[in-house]
């Protein structure tokens, strides 16, 4: 009787673990949407700050300028993400989960070499890759 109970408990435990593992895998449609969004966000941010510094060497923007830049970036980000039926909040909440499935992301990129080249050209320190502490767009 005890062995039957032990087998049942082990079986249920394994089922829960296997089911939970499958729940962590990102859906292919989500991977596509988030990879494309991340590429566009990275390119947008690169272009936003390209062409030299917005401020003189060593000069920090004022708090008012920082607020204006933040509002401008969030507006551009909202518009960009709307193409993918996402809000900034949704993207920030779900992107860590989607990009945690490294195999799914790499698999998608290996099937889309044009996107892979653009993805790999993104700055690692600002895109939430490579152990960054940045915002992780």
Tens digits of per-residue pLDDT, 26-37? 899 999 999 999
Residue 94 lies in a domain: yes
Residue 111 lies in a domain: yes
Contact 117, 109 (CB under 8 A): no
Residue 4: pLDDT band (50, 70, 90) is low
Contact 88, 94 (CB under 8 A): no
Tell me how many domains the chain contains. Answer: 1
Residue 56 lies in a domain: no
Q: Which two tokens stand for residue 106?
A: 């790499």
Residue 109 lies in a domain: yes
DSSP annotation of 26: P
Q: What is the pTM of this model?
A: 0.69
Residue 5 lies in a domain: no
Instruction: State how far Cα 36 lies from the chain centre.
Output: 10
Residue 98 lies in a domain: yes
User: Averaged over 100-124, what is the pLDDT?
Assistant: 93
Contact 123, 46 (CB under 8 A): yes
Beta strands in the chain (DSSP E): none
Range of the domain at 83: 26-48+62-128
Residue 71 lies in a domain: yes
Q: Strand, coil or helix: what is 32?
A: helix
Q: Strand, coil or helix: what is 54?
A: coil
Residue 19 lies in a domain: no
Q: Please indicate whether residue 96 or residue 62 has the higher confidence score (pLDDT).
A: 96
């Amino acid at each position: 009787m005890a062995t039957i109970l032990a087998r049942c408990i082990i079986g249920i435990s394994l089922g829960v673990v296997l089911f939970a593992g499958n729940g962590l895998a990102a859906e292919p449609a989500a991977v596509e949407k988030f990879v494309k969004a991340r590429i566009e966000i990275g390119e947008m941010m690169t272009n936003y700050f390209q062409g030299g510094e917005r401020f003189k060497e060593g000069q920090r923007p004022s708090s008012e300028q920082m607020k204006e830049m933040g509002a401008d970036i969030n507006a551009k980000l909202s518009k960009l993400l709307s193409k993918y039926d996402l809000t900034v909040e949704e993207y920030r909440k779900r992107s860590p989960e989607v990009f945690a499935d490294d195999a799914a992301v790499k698999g998608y990129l290996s099937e889309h070499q044009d996107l892979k080249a653009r993805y790999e050209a993104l700055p690692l320190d600002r895109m939430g890759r490579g152990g960054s502490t940045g915002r992780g767009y």
